[in-house]
Structure formats: C-alpha cells, structure tokens
Amino acid sequence: MESPLDPAGSGGPDWEARYQAGDTPWEKGCAHPALVEWLRENRLTGRILVPGCGTGHDVRALAADPDALVTGLDLAPSAIARAESIPVVGGESYRLADFFSESAFEHGAFDAVFEHTCFCAIPPALRPAYARTVSSALKPGGLFLAIFYRNPSHDGEDGPPFGCSMEELGDLFGGDFQLIRETVGIPTFDGREDREIIRLMRKLPLA
C-alpha cells in the first residue's frame, strides 16, 4: 500500500519542500518517549551521530549528558535552521548533509549512532547502504541505539513510509553488529503503540 509520506530519495516532494509547507507530521515537538525513558536508566556518551535529525529534539535529549558531543545530520536546510535556532542544551551541533554522502561526516569517528526516523524514510533498496554507513560511522565497539518501526499504519493517518521485520533487521545488521538488548512495547507517541521496538547493538571489532 502506498505510504502517506514520500520516502527519502523517492523522487517525490523533497523534505525541504515539506518543511517549508509546514507538512511535517513526524515533528512531534519533543524527543521520542522511548529515548527519554532509555536515558533515564542508561547513558550514551562520547561522539554521537543522529542521521535525519529534523529539528533536533532527539539530539538535544542526548546532548543533555555533559559527556556527549552530538552531531545531528539532515538534508533539509529548514530543519537544520530550526534546530540551530533553539537554545543549546549541551554539546550539540548540526550539519546540513546527506547521510549517504562520503563527505557527510568523519568515518570511524563516532562512539554511538542514534536512529529514530531515518531508516523508515528511505526506500528499502537503500537499507543495505544505510547499514554499511552506520557501521562506517562507528568506531569498533561503538553503539547503535535505534528505534525501528515494525508496522507503520497507513490507514488514513500520517506515518512512516516503511516498516521492517525482525528477520530483515537480523540480515542487515547481523554481520557487523552484536545485539545487546531489544525491547518491545516501548513508550511512544499516540497512534504508534506496539508498532516500534528499541534495539541496542554494538559494532563488532574488525576481523
């Protein structure tokens, strides 16, 4: 079934046009509730990369830790401009860049990557490239904390374009990453109940 949102790189309306039109149902005005809860009991420190950061709600939640230096990436200039207009809470910064570009970030330099809405917005054919890019961003032993959509709703409501199965996640990330913990039934935004999981993975050392 067609999604109510166009995937990144689909050739449809671009993300910048969506921001300029105010057509941004993915912007909830706050960090993802599951990330907020996770950070109450855990820390993510060092250099952290957030692809598809939008206006930076998740970035700021992560940057509240004094030992975190968080870089948010987005390819929509309006998203980055709005993120930079919000008062800094800690060690956060933003960069206008395409996550798949070779020059988007310093490879192998990050202690962690946080995923929320980027993976679900790209065409599924790009997912192997996404997994490789996450791996290339991380140091060996680096952490990948991700909120994945298993079952987006397309019943007349705005939602993420593409879900994923557990098997697909295993295929995409099983080679370079070790699964540390997975949680279902996570706190989330209204309408997303039981459609998401949060996973913590560690990049395996180079062979």
Tens digit of each residue's pLDDT (9 = 90 or more) over 35-60: 999 999 999 999 999 999 999 999 99
User: Model confidence over 159-182: pLDDT tens digits?
Assistant: 567 889 999 999 999 999 999 999
pLDDT in tens, 76-94: 999 999 999 999 999 999 9
Does residue 8 sit within a domain? no
Count CB neighbours of 207 within 10 A: 3
Residue 173 DSSP SS3: helix
Exposed e or buried b per residue across 140-149, where buried means at least 16 C-beta atoms within 10 angstroms of its C-beta: eebbbbbbbb
Distance CA 113, CA 74 (A): 14
Owning domain of residue 132: 15-203
The CATH number of the domain holding residue 165 is 3.40.50.150
The total domain count for the chain is: 1
- Asked, for residue 10, whether it belongs to a domain, the answer is no
Q: Is the dihedral of CA 84, 15, 27, 46 positive or negative?
A: negative
For residue 105, give both structure tokens. 């970030």
- Residue 151: pLDDT band with limits 50, 70, 90: confident
pLDDT reading at 10 higher than 70: no
Decide if 1 is inside a domain: no
Q: Is residue 21 part of a domain?
A: yes
Residue 9 covered by a domain:
no
State how far the Cα of 197 lies from the Cα of 195, in Å rounded to an integer: 7
Q: Is residue 53 part of a domain?
A: yes
* Residue closest to 119 by CA, chosen among 110, 111, 109, 128: 128
Residue 158 pLDDT exceeds 70: no
Task: Please indicate, yes or no, if residue 6 is contained in any of the structural domains.
Answer: no
